[in-house]
Amino acid sequence: MNVFVYGVLDNGQWYWEITFDLRADFLFWHERLQGAYQLMLLEPDLSLGQAMWLKNQLAASSRRAANATNDKWREEIQRTWESGPYSRSALPAPFKLTLIKKGRNDDIVSIGLHNHNGDKKEFQKLLDKLQGRSLLLEEWKQLQQTQGLQWSEATQRYCLQTAYLRQTIHLLPGIKRIERAAWGKSTVQYQCQRCGSSQERMHWSHCHQCRELCPYCEECLTMGRVRSCSMLIQGQASQEDKDYAHQGSMVTPELNWKKHLVAYWGLSPAQTEASLAGLRFLAQDRNKDSREHFAKRNKGAQHFLIWAVTGAGKTEMIFPLSIRTPFN
């Protein structure tokens, strides 16, 4: 899915964003700015990796003052693009830059979540399922299907864009472009944002979304291709993760387990959560509270699966489980 880049005049400065459904942005800024506002829309659309890069460059531009005109921004975008890593075929000049003025009393079309409370609740359930996960767009759609949701493409785009603007989810390009400068030279590295693989595992091929060569990760290819233009949808950290991060100020019954897993096995926070979930599963046969808690959360699941990319450390995650099992 390609996206558009646009600027919005907020509090005396131009602020740059990406969108795959402007209707969501119109409503968001209408509510946020409480009155008339202006947007500057760049066309054509760009791939996610390109759009994120351009948005970040423009956000750092020194010409963000409110009096920057359409022509000034046109020059700035062209200069930025031509000095950047992407080809002219992806953003051919002259491109279109349209100023959109919205009045205080303009009708703002709102669809999807704002019209249907049922959808809103279903969407919240989806967001709960997304906690601690990083999914490709196809996987996100599969998640909807497993929840029995059959939203149109338009509603899906609207919901996703609204959640992104409200920072309920994070959107990342599948491959990260890292620029470093040292000893007067700049180097560029690419890294997969799903499995963490670096440059050596990147493969370049022509891509119709980027309209030029674009890298994908060979390391995690069996789980679906992650390109620089692929969208990774990341959920918020769960409350447990947040508590864990601030564990010094709280005490929970499971805190000792967590401390043990980290201190003895050296597990990371994400590995610890997976191990803990396994320990809860094993405990359900012996402990009524755990059993009910687990059954409630997992609809009476009989099997436990740890699912993670290659190299995530699944083996280490099951050490605590294998130690515990013989003593049960």
- Site residues, Zn ion (CB under 5 A): 47, 192, 194-195, 197, 207, 209-210, 214, 217, 219-220, 227, 229
Q: Given the complex with Zn ion, which of 222 and 328 has the nearer CB atom?
A: 222
Q: Given the complex with Zn ion, which of 113 and 195 has the nearer CB atom?
A: 195
For the bound state, the minimum distance from the C-beta of residue 201 to Zn ion, rounded and expressed in Å, comes to 7
Contact 229, 173 (CB under 8 A): yes
For the bound state, the minimum distance from the C-beta of residue 91 to Zn ion, rounded and expressed in Å, comes to 14
Distances (CA, A) of 137 to 35, 56, 95, 106, 224: 34, 22, 28, 33, 10
Q: Given the complex with Zn ion, which of 20 and 294 has the nearer CB atom?
A: 20
Contact 219, 201 (CB under 8 A): yes
The Cα angle at residue 61 between residues 94 and 59, in degrees rounded to 5:
90
**What tokens does 234 get?**
């990341």
Q: Given the complex with Zn ion, which of 127 and 172 has the nearer CB atom?
A: 172
For the bound state, the minimum distance from the C-beta of residue 220 to Zn ion, rounded and expressed in Å, comes to 3
Give strand pairing partners of 212. Answer: 207
Q: Given the complex with Zn ion, which of 212 and 243 has the nearer CB atom?
A: 212
For the bound state, the minimum distance from the C-beta of residue 273 to Zn ion, rounded and expressed in Å, comes to 21
**DSSP-assigned letters across all residues of 121-140:** HHHHHHHHHHTT-EEEHHHH
Q: Which helix or strand (DSSP H or E) is residue 282 part of?
A: helix 269-283
- In whole angstroms, give the CA distance from residue 231 to residue 47: 9
**What tokens does 149 get?**
């949701």
259 Rama sector, left if φ>0, alpha if ψ -120 to 50, beta otherwise = alpha
The DSSP symbol for 247 reads G
Helix (H, G, I), strand (E, B) or coil at 78: helix
Q: Given the complex with Zn ion, which of 157 and 227 has the nearer CB atom?
A: 227
For the bound state, the minimum distance from the C-beta of residue 139 to Zn ion, rounded and expressed in Å, comes to 14
For the bound state, the minimum distance from the C-beta of residue 203 to Zn ion, rounded and expressed in Å, comes to 11
191 Rama sector, left if φ>0, alpha if ψ -120 to 50, beta otherwise = beta
Q: Given the complex with Zn ion, which of 77 and 192 has the nearer CB atom?
A: 192
For the bound state, the minimum distance from the C-beta of residue 171 to Zn ion, rounded and expressed in Å, comes to 15
For the bound state, the minimum distance from the C-beta of residue 318 to Zn ion, rounded and expressed in Å, comes to 23
By 3-state DSSP, what share of the chain in percent is helix, strand and coil, each rounded to 5? 45, 20, 35
Q: Given the complex with Zn ion, which of 66 and 221 has the nearer CB atom?
A: 221
